[in-house]
Structure 1
Amino acid sequence: MTDTDTSGMINEDTEDHRDLIELEETSGSSRKQKIQASKCFTCSHCGKRFNSKGHLTTHMRIHNREKSVICPRCEKCFPNKETLAIHSKECPHTCPQCGKSFTHKGNFVAHMRIHTGEHPYTCSECGKSFIQKKSHKLHMRIHTGERPYTCLQCGKRFTYKESFEAHMRIHTGERPYTCSVCGKSFREKKTHDLHMMIHTEERPHTCPQCGKSFIQKQNLTKHMMIHTGERPHTCPQCGKSFIQKINLTGHMILHTAERPHTCPQCGKSYKRKIGLSAHMVIHTGQSPYSCVQCGKSYGQKSGLDYHMRAHTGERPYTCIDCGKSFIQKCNLMSHMMIHTEKIPHACVECGKKFKTEGTLKIHMRRHLEESPDSKRADEKH
C-alpha cells in the first residue's frame, strides 16, 4: 500500500470518527449504532465501508485493476502472469496495421473498421453511423428516450451505464480517480484526465487563426465564434446576441423586474449573483484576493485577474480587424464598433444614437438636468 493510500485511510477513519462523535452528541448512542449498522460492507484492502454489497463490488474493481497484469496487445486484465501467458496463446487475431491482438474474431473485425473507415451501422433517425452494433444501439436511446438505469436512492434515471455508475458515487462518496501530483480526487475518469492536463500543461486544441490553445474542445469551439462572428443565442426582446447560452440567460433578467439575489444584511437586491457578491464586500470589508507583486487586494477574483494583467502585460482580447488588443473583453466589444456601422444605443428622449452604453448614460444626464421636474427641485432649494 502506498503512502497516499495510507494517508487516505487515516483521513477517512478520522472523518468517520468525527461523524460518530457528532451523532452521539445530537442523537445518542442508538443513532450511532444505526449508522454503523447501515455501513456493514467493508473493503478488505483499504477499510472503506459501504451500505450495500453492490457498492462494495463496484469499489473493489479499483483494487483488482491495481493488482492485475494487463495484456499489452488487447489491454485485458489478469490476476497474475501465469494467466496472462495462457491468454497470450489464445489471442490469435492480430491487427496487421497496429499490432493489437484480440481473443474473439468479432472484436478483431470491429477494430479493423477503425483503419478502413467503415461504419456499417447507421441511425435511421439522424443518419449518424457507427463502427460497432453496440454503439449504434446505445445511440438509439437518444431518439427513443430509453433510460434503463435507475438510481434506487433518488429515482434519477440514466441512458448509459457509465453515467449511472458515476452518479451512484455521489451517494457513496467514492472518488476513485486520484491525481498523482496534487492528490485531488474525482468521481469520473474523464474529469480526472482533464485535470491532469493542468499539471502537464497540455492544451491539445489550438485555434488555427490566432494560435490560442485550449484543454477542452468545447472551449475551442466557443473561441472560434470570436473569429467567425457567430452569436447563435439571441434575445427575443431586444435582439442582442451572445456566443454562449448562459450569457443570454443572465441577460434576460435585465428585461424582468425580478431581483432574486438579496443581501441578508441590508435587504438590497440584485438581478445577478455576481452583483450580490460584489456588494457583500461592503459589509464584510474583506478583500481576499491579493496581488503577490504589489499587495493590492480585491473583493472578487475577476478584479485580481484584471489587475494581474497590468504586471504581466497580457492583453488576451484582440481585434481581428486591426490587431489592437485589450485587457478586458468589454473594452474589445466597444472598440469593435469602430469597424462597423452599428450604433446600437439610442436615446429615448431625442433619438440620438451612441456606440457604447456608457456614452448614452452620460448623454441621458443632460435630459434629466433639463427636465421640468429637475428645475422645480432646484428652485425649491
Structure 2
Amino acid sequence: MTFTCDQCGKVWPNASKLKRHYITHTGERPYSCDQCGKTWPNASRLKVHYRTHTGERPYSCDVCEKTFTRSSHVLSHMKIHTGERPYECDQCGKKFRESGVLLNHMRIHTGEKPYSCDQCGKTFRDSSALCHHMKIHTGEKPFECDQCGKKFTESGDLHKHMRIHTGEKPYSCDVCEKTFAQSSNLLSHMRIHTGEKPSEQCGKEFRDSSDLHQHTRVHTGEKPYECEQCGEMFSQSSTLSKHKRTHSWLILYECDQCEEAYRTSQELSSHYRTHTGDKPDDCEERGEGFQVCEELSETCPNVPD
C-alpha cells in the first residue's frame, strides 16, 4: 500500500513519511531550537542544527580527516579528492560536483533571481545567499570564537577561523607537501605545479581561481554588483567602488548659499568668495585684487609662468 500527496502527487511507502512531507506544503515548522529560537519542519533537521551550537561534527573524510555535521556533506566533499564532476552546464560547459550547484549556476545564464529580501527588495539566485544577506539587516552573528570573542554569521566561517588559533592546516599538497588551512588555498597552490589556469571560453590563463572567476564574467555577462544609488550593474566589486565615488563626491562639499557642490574643500572655498566678495590675492604692480590665484595669473603679465 502506498500513500499519495494530494498537493503534488508524490508517492510515499507509509503514512508517517507522507505526513512529514506534507509539511513542505503547509510551511509548518513545529520544532524550535532552545538555543537560538530557529524553527525546523522536522526533528531530524533540528538535531543536525543543534550541532552548530555544540560543535559536534561526527562525520569525517577518511582522506584528509575533515569533519562534517552531516553524512551527505562527506559524500559531497569526497568528490574534491576523486575529481568527479558529473553535472555539466549546456551553456558554457562548466562542470559541477552537485546538481544543485549546477541549477544555481544556470541562473547566471538565465538571469533568474527567484529569492528576494522582504526588507530592501534585493534579489538573489539562491536561498543561501538570501539567508546570508538577511543577517545584514538583523545584525545576527550567532557564532562566537571562544578564544578571541570574534563573531561570525555562519558556523563554517567560525570553523575556518578557529584554525588561526589551533594552527591546523588539514590540506596538504601531494607534490611538495606544503600544508594549508583552507582547501581553496590548496587549489590555488596546485596550479603552480599543474599550470592549470585556462579560461574555458578563450584559453586565457590565470594564476588564481578568483581572477579566473572574475574573467569568466566577461563571457557570461554576469554583473552581480549593483549600485544602490542608480541601479547600474558591475562585474567586479572594485569597479562598483570606483563608480560610487561619482555619486558620493556631489555631497561632500556643498555651498550653503546656493547649494553648488564641489569635489574638494579648496574648490568650495574658492567658490565661496563669489558670495563674500573676498579677494585675497593682490597684484603688487597693478594694485588689483582677485578672488583666486589662477585669476591673478591669467590677468597679470608680471606673474611668471
Q: If the length of structure 1 is used for normalisation, what is the TM-score?
A: 0.40
TM-score of the aligned structures, taking structure 2 as reference length: 0.49
**Which structure has the highest helix share of the two?**
1
Higher RCO (C-alpha under 8 Å, 6+ residues apart): 2
